[in-house]
Each structure stands twice: as C-alpha cells, then as structure tokens.
Amino acid sequence: MNDNALRTIEAQIREQICAYCESNNVPGFVVGVYHAREQVIVAHGTANVATGAPMLEDTGFLFGSVTKVLTTTLVLQQVERGLLNLDTPVVKYLPEFTLAEPGAAEKILVRHLISHTNGIDADLFFPDGKGRDALKIYVERLAGSCGALFEPGEQLSYSNGGMIVAGRLLEVVTGTPFPDLLERNVFAPVGMTTSSTSAERAILRSTAVGHFPDPETMAAKPTDMFMLPDTWGPAGGTPIGTVSDLLAFGRTHLTGGVSPSGTRVLSAESTSLMQQVSHDMATPNVPPMGLGWVRYPFGDTTVLAMSGASPGGVSILCVVPEHDLVFTAYGNTGSAIMLHDQILQRLLREHLAVQIPTLIDEFEPDVDLAPYVGTYRSNQLRIDVTVVDGQLEERMSYEPADESQRQIFTAFAGGMTSAPPQRYVPIRPGLFAPAGYPLDAFDGYLRLLLVSYHDVRRGRARFRNGGGRLTRRV
C-alpha cells in the first residue's frame, strides 16, 4: 500500500465515522491505521459532551481490556528473565492465592492466567481498592468470594480474574508495583509517551470520557464513573493513552518484539508464542486464543485482536502480521464497537484484498432445544434459558454480592442491572444466533454475539458461552 492509498483510506474512514456517529449518537471517535511504514489518525466529534471538548488525534482514552495484551507482554518478559515459568503452578510464586473451592487454585499454572483457561469464576468480581496494595487486596478477597467454573485447561472463558492475578504475580516476582512495571517495561521502551495509569495524570491533557444513552431521550450522557477501581488495573481498569501509543505497541508485535524506536521489548520467540494457538473451543463464536491475543480467522488471514470496554466507552487493537497492518480505535459510547467492526472489515476487504468467507451459511430449524434450557451462573451473573415460540429466550441479570459490588457494576454498566429478554434461533445443535440479525452480521468481530452450549451430558448442556464468557448450569 503506497502513501496515496493510505490517504484514500483516511478520507474514506473520516466519511464513515461522520455518518455512523451522527446516526448512532456517538459523541466522539478516534482511529489509527499503520501499514507498510505509513500511518494515519482520524479524530471526530466530542470527547466529553459535558465540556464540549473536541476529540483530537492525541486525545487520551481508557484502554480497557486491550491492557490484557500489555499485561501478557509483561509476563513473557519475566519468563525470559527466569523469574517465571509458564508451566509452574501460580501458588509456587504466590502462596496466598486461593479460591473459595478448596484445591482449585493449586491446579492453575501461570500459562492458564494469560490464556483465559484458568477457570477462575471472577469475571464480574469488583472489589474496591486503591493505591499500591490494590492487587494484593484483590487476591486476598478472591479466597472467600470466588470459586472455579471448570478445571484449568479444560475450557476457554474470557478471564478478568486471571489477568489481575497475573498482575499481582508480577508484583511479587519483580518487587515492583504493577503501574510502575507497566510504565518502565512497556510504556517507556515501546515509546508510549502519553500513556499512564492514573486519572490524576490523564487530567493534565486531553482525555475522553465514556457516555451512556439517556433512557428517555437516547442522547449521550457522560458516565458517572471515569474508571474502574485500581484492583482491575492489569485487566484494563486503569491504563490510559492515545491511538499513537497503541499503534506503537501493535507495531512492536508486528516486528518480533522490537519497538518503532528500535528498542527490544520482547524476544522474537516470546512474541511468536503469544500469537500461537494455546486453546481452541472449535466454535465460530469463540475464536482460538493465543497468550493475551485473540486470534480471529478471516478466511486465510489471522487478525490478532483485543477489544476493551471502559465505563461508557470501547477500544480495540488489531494486528495483522501477514499484511504488516495495525488498526486501533476508541469510541466514547458502547455502540462504537459496531463501527470498529465495519472499519476493520473495510480495511481487510478493500485495502488488503482479503477474502472474508461467510461464517454462517444458514439456520437449521429442527434443533432439539431441550438440552439448553435451564439456569446458568457465573460470579454474580445469572442467565435463565427457556423455550418461547420455538426459539431459546435468555434473561440475563446481575445479582450483586454486596452494596459495594452493586455500586461499581451499575456505574460501569450505566445503571443497568439486567438486560431485556433476548431470543435466539438455532444455527446447528449447540450454536445459536440472536434473532433478527442477518447472517452476514457475524462474519466479522460481531461473531461474539453468537451463543454456544458445551459439554452435553445426559441430554443437558453444562456450559453456555456468550461473548467468550462461560456460565455453568446450576
């Protein structure tokens, strides 16, 4: 792709962003594309409707779960230095790590923490805590609050808890607080000069805030909570930076661990290991997992990706090694994830000439729905599945463990504690699509909207997987 082609991309993306944001009440959006030694950044709209501050090319935003790839990079650095071994039990380094289910923590290896195969049932566990002891507090409170969803390595379930435990593990073996380690070992060598982990530093420069739709007018309202507690730092609660910073990090993973400035951040072997398949659920709605990276197959092309929700905002980072491309973006409402998907597919189809096959060809109407009916639970989340008019109907609700958890979750979710009932139609046994969506909606990133059921025993599924997250039948 030459420079003229990149400028064409810039113009097309700018037009696409303007149209989407206007029709979907997205106040602001910023996107960056790097390809073949050239990059463009496009910003649009407003960073904060309360102040009217514009979204600029260098406006900062919360990375959200994109942080998980940064945390994984830190873990692999310590493996290279001999302080960690991926196949050693976590408790060897972190003896205080326990779960509510006796013996469960002892089976979890370091590898399981960063491959989302650990089974820690803590996806919505929000203990409050600030400062240098935040991750220590998190691990201490896991013991009496969270059990295990499955045996380590048995299943794949997107794991905030695993990444936070990995963050505490890093603190113990390095003797350095996680925020300091992130700044010293990733931000500095990569050249992420505008990144930080504190609201106090972010306020000194242009920083976007998230927004939620007003229930009555649907106009965007600023979030009441800027970031999650410090206890969620390694999973994505606190890191803040810019599109330029994430492009630099993505480029580091394009070039075998060497940053744009030429600094070695990670070995070529570790960088490659992160990109290799570590677990595959063999279902279209759960792409194969590497270490830190999710491996999205688009035909013969693999997109390494991670998206990140923050209170009222959503980010994404995609790296396409086969085509020397990095794409990253942030929108300050949750619905911006649709625009992320549209831009990614445009880049793949129109500018890289990637053939994206249809993921789902047709629906299968005569699927026995009985094995999937029941109640499924994970930490503070309940999903009731019934059959209505020949379709599955799911009712999802959040059941807080205490008042502190309720306050944090409801602020993170914009005041919602339950979702409207959702109908699903069968694609094949064990795989369902939300009713009303065209089949081609699932060809891209939004394949995560599909729901699958797993491990059917005696006519009853044991697990439900939605958005990469498992719940277990109760």
Average pLDDT of the segment spanning 222-243: 96
Domain 370-473 classification at class level: mainly beta
> Which class is 1-357 in CATH?
alpha beta
The three-point CA angle 337-343-345 to 5° equals: 105
C-alpha distance across the termini of the chain, in Å: 53
pLDDT at 3: 56
Local confidence band at 415 (pLDDT 50, 70, 90 cut-offs): confident
Nearest-angstrom CA–CA distance, 320 and 70: 17
Please check the confidence at residue 43 and state whether its pLDDT lies above 70. yes
What proportion of the chain, given as a percentage, has pLDDT over 90?
A: 93
Distance CA 144, CA 141 (A): 6
Q: Quick one: pLDDT at residue 58?
A: 97
The pLDDT of residue 1 is 45
The tens digit of pLDDT for each residue in 316-339 reads 999 999 999 999 999 999 999 999
The pLDDT value recorded for residue 416 is 72
Average pLDDT of span 454-462: 96
Buried b / exposed e across 269-298, counting CB within 10 Å, b at 16+?
Answer: ebbebbbeebbebebbbbbbbbbbbbbbeb
CA–CA gap between residue 333 and residue 41 (Å, rounded): 19
Domain ranges of the chain: 1-357, 370-473
| Triad 150, 159, 382: Cα angle to 5° | 70
Classify residue 219 by burial, with Cβ atoms within 10 Å: 0-12, 13-18, 19+: exposed
Per-residue confidence at 7, pLDDT binned at 50, 70, 90?
Answer: confident
Q: What is the DSSP letter of 177?
A: -
pTM reported for the whole predicted model:
0.96
Q: What is the pLDDT of residue 144?
A: 85
pLDDT in tens, 301-316: 999 999 999 999 999 9
* Alpha-carbon torsion (441, 444, 449, 451), positive or negative: positive
Residues recognised as catalytic: 65
User: CATH topology of 1-357 equal to that of 370-473?
Assistant: no
Across 397-421, average pLDDT = 89
In this predicted structure, the answer to whether residue 36 has a pLDDT above a threshold of 90 is no
Q: What is the pLDDT of residues 394-406, one digit of tens each?
A: 999 999 989 999 9
Q: Provide the pLDDT for residue 2.
A: 52
Residues 361-380 pLDDT 10s: 899 989 999 999 999 999 99
